[in-house]
Amino acid sequence: MQQVNSLQQIRETLMTEGLMEEDAPSNPMDLFESWIAYAEELKFHNANAMTVATVDSNLAPSARNVLLRGRLGESLVFYTNYESDKAVDLDQNNKAAVLMGWLEIERQIRFTGEVEKIDERSSDKYFSSRARGSQISAVVSKQSRPVASRNEIEAAWSALDAELADLSPVRPDHWGGYVFTPNSIEFWQGRPNRLHDRLRYRQKDGAWILGRLAP
């Protein structure tokens, strides 16, 4: 109950203080780092989770959660299967939207931008840092493809586990990272009476332009 009360107090404080232009840094990634660091400090489960939305060849949208695994300058990095539905979508249209939210404290961040594959060396480095069991799963999983049963997946995992003995697998070609580079970032802070604060940064001529949106 103490944690609930603490979060309630934090939420109420943030809603009272709001998000004002004079307090916003010139670079939105500084504010992003501050917000995600605070969510991690509060020990939110998967505070680095983000929803990535894409569209397929028929312009039908789809969204799924992935984990933010780093930054390259002003870009966000995540890893996945290159044969997954999201990867197929991105091969056809590299524009995407990303959403990160911590609704316990009435905060969310919306991004729009473009995605490209990260270099293979970075993918190799991150893959090698993963737990061995997760590495095996990445090798055997035909992500987003139909399977007859869970037994089929577990059998494939167990077979590779036995084949490797105590060794770790090499990163497969069908698994790696993406770099998402935003051109628009909106910070949303909940406020009383639903008069929320919405500050949006947009890229123009290589610089970030800050503006306020109506709630």
Name the nearest CA neighbour of 176 among 40, 94, 82.
82
Name the nearest CA neighbour of 113 among 83, 90, 85.
90
Alpha-carbon distance 37 to 34, whole Å?
Answer: 5
DSSP code for 146:
-
Strands (E), 141-196: 175-189
Q: Which residues participate in catalysis according to the annotation?
A: 194
Whole-angstrom CA distances from 103 to 11, 44, 47, 100 are: 9, 10, 11, 10
